Amino acid sequence: MINLSIPGQEPQAFPRGISAKDALTKLGGLGSADVFAVKVNGVEKDLMVSLNEDGTLEPLSFDSSEGKEIYRHTSTHIMAQAVKECFPTAQMTIGPAIEEGFFYDFAFERPFTPEDLEKIEQRAKAIIESNLPVTRLEMSKTEAIAYYQARGELYKVEILEGLPDEQISLYQQGEFVDLCRGPHVPSTGQIKAFKLLSSAGAYWRGDERNPMLQRIYGTSFPSEEALQKHLDNLEEIKKRDHRKLGKELDLFSIQDETGPGLILWHPKGAQIRLIMENFWRAQHLAHHYEMVYSPHVARLDLWKTSGHLDFYRENMYASMPVESSEYQLKPMNCPFHIMVYKSHLRSYRDLPVRYGELGTVYRYERSGVLHGLMRVRGFTQDDAHIFCSPNQLAEEVRNVLKFTTFMLGTFGFTEFKMYLSTRPEKAVGSLEQWDQATQALEAALKEGGYAYEEDPGEGVFYGPKIDVKIQDALGRSWQCSTVQVDFNNPQRFALSYIGEDGKTHQPIMIHRALLGSIERFFGILLEHYGGAFPTWLAPVQVVILPISQKHEDYAKKVGENLRVKGCRVDLDLRNEKVGLKIRESEKAKVPLMVVVGDREAETETVSVRKRNGKNLGTMSMTDILQLIRDETPEAVKQGSFLLG
C-alpha cells in the first residue's frame, strides 16, 4: 500500500499502482472544475499515471497556470494532427503553449492561407468531437529517431538528436504521434472551445539564418463563453490601439514623406507630452536631480571611447563627415552626461551627482520591427545618470526604484514587476565588477522589499540592470523603467573624484530611465486609458458649448475666465446643435463639457456634464476650477509650483 493525500488533508492508504485519477476521486480532489492532470509531489503528470510511492496529489484544471499550459499543449497537438491529416507533406517541428494560447511551426512548401486555416480548424474540431484518448508511449531515443526518420520528420529527428535523455516519451491520439514530455489531458474531447487565429512565418529555432517555417497560432478554452470573452478582449485591444486612437484623437502622425519610425507630434499630443515633461522635470528637481542638455551629434571618437561603436554599431546610423572628422548622430545620452561630469574636478562631497535630461536619441531599427510609438527610430528618453561612490550605490538604486513607482503610480499604473538582468555573453568589464554590480542591484531590490525575477544574460554590455514592467488596464505588461549599473564607462572615460583620503577614486555610474521613452510611454498611456486621459493629462480639459450663436459672447467670457486660471479650454462656437457638439466632445474624450445658454448667462453660471454622460448640473465658474483641481494628483500640483 501507498499513502496519498491532497494538500491540507490527511493521507489515505491506496493499493500500489492506482491511477492518479482513481486516487483523486476517492480523496475527493476532483471537485467541480474539470480536472485533467495532476501534480504528484510537485511534478506534473497525466491523470492516468499509476502511482507507486507515497505522495501528495494536486489536481490541475484550467484555473491554474500549469493546467492552462497542459490544456493548450494538448490543443496544439490536436492542431498538428489536423495539419498532418490535411497536408501530409507538412513536417512537424515544435508547438508550445503560450500565454494566451498556443502555436505550432511546420515546414511546408508554401504559407498557409486563411482557407487552409479554416480547413485545419474544421479537421481539429472533428478530432475533438471524436474524443480520442491521449496516451503516453515510451521508447528509447534510438527507436524514436528511427520512428521519425521512417516518417520523414527530419526536424523531429534533429530535436531528438539534441536531447540528452535516453528514454523518450511520445503522446498518441488516434494515428497521430508527437514527441512530447507531457503531460496531456486524457482525451481530445476535453478541449471544449478551439480556434485558430493566424498564421505567420517564423524561423526554425528562432534564428534568422535558419529556414522559415509556417507558424499557426490558435487558442483554446474550457467553454465557448470563455473563448468568446478572450476574443472580445482582443477586439478591445484593437479598439484601443494607440495608432488608431492617435489618428482619431489627432495626437500624432507618422508619414511616408518624413520617414518611418519618426514621430510628428500634433498640437494635442504635444500638449499631453508637455504636461508629462513638465511633471517629469519638476519631480526630478524635487528629487535632487539637476537638468542638463546635450547635442544630437558628436564626434565619432566619443562613441569609440564609450564602446558603443563596438557594441551598439548595428543600431547606430552611419556617421557623417564634418570638415576633417567624422560625426555621429547620438544613439545614447550617456557620453554627454559623462563629459559634463568630467568638465571639472570632483570631490567626494559633490557625490552623488545626478544629471537628468529628456534626451532625444536616434537608433537604426530594422524596418520590420517598427511599431507606432512603441518602437521608433527617433525617441526621447527620460534619461538620467547618477555618479556616486561605491558605498552610495545601493541607496541610490533604492531611491531610483522608489522614484519609479511613484512616477508610474501618478500616471495611473499600480502593478509592477521587477526583473534583474545579469551578464550577457557580449560584455565588457571583469567578472568581479559584474558580481559587485549585480549584488548592489539585488541588495536594493531586497532592501526596498520588491519581489523580482531574474533574467539571466539579459543585462546590457556594460553592466547588469533592473527592469520594471507595468501592467495596463487590459492586463498587458510593458517594460518602461530600467536601472543599469555601470563600472565600465567610468573606467573608459577615466572618471574620478577626490576622496576623503585625498586620493583619486573612480565613481560608479547608474543609467536610469523611469518612463523609458516618452514616445513609448505615451503610447502605453494612450492604450491604458483608451484615449480618455485623466483630467490632469487631457489636452483639452473643458469644452464650452453654447446652445446657439446668441450665447457666443458669454461662452467666450467663461472660456477666458477658465483659461487665465490655467485651465485648458476649447470653445465650440460652430453653428450646430448642442447635441452634435456633445457627441463630438464625447468622441474627443474631453473630460468636462460646459453647456451655456440663456439660463447660465443670466445667472453667471455654467452647466457641467462629465465625459460619459453624467450631468453635474449648474455650478459657478469657481466650482468647475475646483472640480479640475480635485482631479489633479497632489504630486502634479506640487510640480507646477516647483517649475515656477
Decide: 629 and 637 in contact? Cβ < 8 Å. Answer: yes
Q: Among 471, 593, 606, which residue's Cα sits nearest to residue 527?
A: 471
482-501 residues near RNA, rule: CB under 7 A: 482
Nearest-approach distance from CB 575 to RNA, in angstroms: 4
Which spans in 217-373 are helix H?
A: 224-239, 242-248, 267-286, 300-306, 308-311, 334-342
Applying CB under 7 A, among 170, 394, 593, 627 the residue interacting with RNA is 593
Nearest to RNA of 52, 549 (CB atom): 549
What is the dihedral angle through the alpha carbons of 620, 624, 627, 632, rounded to the nearest 10 degrees?
A: -150
Residue 460 touching RNA (CB under 7 A): yes
Sole window of 164-172, 267-275, 409-417, 569-577 interacting with RNA (rule: CB under 7 A): 569-577
610-629 residues near RNA, rule: CB under 7 A: 612-613, 615
Applying CB under 7 A, among 206, 267, 295, 449 the residue interacting with RNA is 206
Angle at 39 between CA 37 and CA 44, to 5 degrees: 75
Residue 202 touching RNA (CB under 7 A): yes
Applying CB under 7 A, among 201, 456, 457, 566 the residue interacting with RNA is 201
Kindly give, in sequence order, each residue whose CB lies less than 8 Å from that of residue 43, ignoring residues fewer than 6 positions away: none
232-251 residues near RNA, rule: CB under 7 A: 241, 243, 247
328-387 residues near RNA, rule: CB under 7 A: 363, 365-372, 374-377, 379, 381
Q: Which own/partner contact pairs does 14-22 have at CB distance under 8 Å and 24+ positions apart? A: 14/51, 16/51, 16/52, 17/50, 17/51, 17/52, 18/50, 18/51, 19/47, 19/48, 19/49, 19/50, 19/51, 20/45, 20/46, 20/47, 20/48, 20/49, 20/50, 20/51, 20/57, 21/47, 21/48, 21/186
Angle at 67 between CA 63 and CA 70, to 5 degrees: 145
Applying CB under 7 A, among 10, 161, 256, 425 the residue interacting with RNA is 256
**Burial group, residue 558, by CB count within 10 angstroms (0-12, 13-18, 19+):** buried
**Distinct helix (H) and strand (E) counts, the chain:** 20, 35
Nearest-approach distance from CB 370 to RNA, in angstroms: 5
Nearest to RNA of 15, 201 (CB atom): 201
Applying CB under 7 A, among 162, 321, 449, 579 the residue interacting with RNA is 579
531-550 residues near RNA, rule: CB under 7 A: 547-550
Sole window of 172-180, 210-218, 273-281, 443-451 interacting with RNA (rule: CB under 7 A): 210-218
548-567 residues near RNA, rule: CB under 7 A: 548-550
151-170 residues near RNA, rule: CB under 7 A: none
422-451 residues near RNA, rule: CB under 7 A: none
Using CA atoms, how far apart are residues 514 and 358, in angstroms rounded to an integer?
11
Beta-bridge mates of residue 218: 102, 196
Using CA atoms, how far apart are residues 427 and 424, in angstroms rounded to an integer?
6
Nearest to RNA of 350, 576 (CB atom): 576
Nearest-approach distance from CB 79 to RNA, in angstroms: 15
Q: Which amino acid is at 452?
A: Y
Nearest-approach distance from CB 352 to RNA, in angstroms: 22
Other C-beta atoms lying within 10 Å of the C-beta of residue 395: 15
Nearest to RNA of 54, 365 (CB atom): 365
Nearest to RNA of 29, 335 (CB atom): 335
Sole window of 163-171, 222-230, 317-325, 608-616 interacting with RNA (rule: CB under 7 A): 608-616
Beta-bridge mates of residue 97: 102
Sole window of 29-37, 258-266, 339-347, 430-438 interacting with RNA (rule: CB under 7 A): 258-266
Please list the active-site residues.
Answer: 334, 363, 381, 383, 385, 465, 511
307-326 residues near RNA, rule: CB under 7 A: none
Q: How many residues bind RNA (CB under 7 A)?
A: 71
- With residue 81 as reference, give the H or E element that holds it: helix 65-86
Nearest-approach distance from CB 577 to RNA, in angstroms: 4
Nearest-approach distance from CB 47 to RNA, in angstroms: 31
Using CA atoms, how far apart are residues 613 and 421, in angstroms rounded to an integer?
47
Kindly give, in sequence order, each residue whose CB lies less than 8 Å from that of residue 381, ignoring residues fewer than 6 positions away: 333, 358, 359, 360, 361, 513, 516, 517, 518
Find the radius of gyration of the CA atoms of the chain: 30
Nearest-approach distance from CB 207 to RNA, in angstroms: 7
Q: Residue 257 has what DSSP assignment?
A: T
Nearest to RNA of 336, 379 (CB atom): 379
Nearest-approach distance from CB 403 to RNA, in angstroms: 16
Nearest-approach distance from CB 99 to RNA, in angstroms: 11
Nearest-approach distance from CB 591 to RNA, in angstroms: 12
Applying CB under 7 A, among 88, 425, 575, 644 the residue interacting with RNA is 575
Residue holding cell 528511427?
A: 146
Residue 520 touching RNA (CB under 7 A): yes
Using CA atoms, how far apart are residues 560 and 257, in angstroms rounded to an integer?
38
Sole window of 159-167, 352-360, 429-437, 509-517 interacting with RNA (rule: CB under 7 A): 509-517
Applying CB under 7 A, among 195, 281, 505, 609 the residue interacting with RNA is 609
Q: Residue 265 has what DSSP assignment?
A: E
Nearest to RNA of 162, 206 (CB atom): 206
Residue 134 touching RNA (CB under 7 A): no
Nearest to RNA of 351, 594 (CB atom): 594
Cα–Cα distances in Å, from 146 out to 70, 206, 213, 364, 501?
27, 26, 23, 47, 72
Nearest-approach distance from CB 371 to RNA, in angstroms: 6
Cα–Cα distances in Å, from 217 out to 103, 173, 200, 373?
4, 21, 8, 25
Residue holding cell 510628428?
A: 264
Nearest-approach distance from CB 341 to RNA, in angstroms: 22
Using CA atoms, how far apart are residues 498 and 54, in angstroms rounded to an integer?
66
Residue 529 touching RNA (CB under 7 A): no
Applying CB under 7 A, among 144, 407, 558, 582 the residue interacting with RNA is 582
85-124 residues near RNA, rule: CB under 7 A: 111
Applying CB under 7 A, among 30, 86, 212, 443 the residue interacting with RNA is 212
Cα–Cα distances in Å, from 632 out to 134, 523, 543?
58, 21, 18
Nearest to RNA of 204, 348 (CB atom): 204
Applying CB under 7 A, among 198, 504, 620, 622 the residue interacting with RNA is 198
Nearest to RNA of 49, 94 (CB atom): 94
Cα–Cα distances in Å, from 349 out to 346, 353, 500, 510?
8, 10, 8, 18
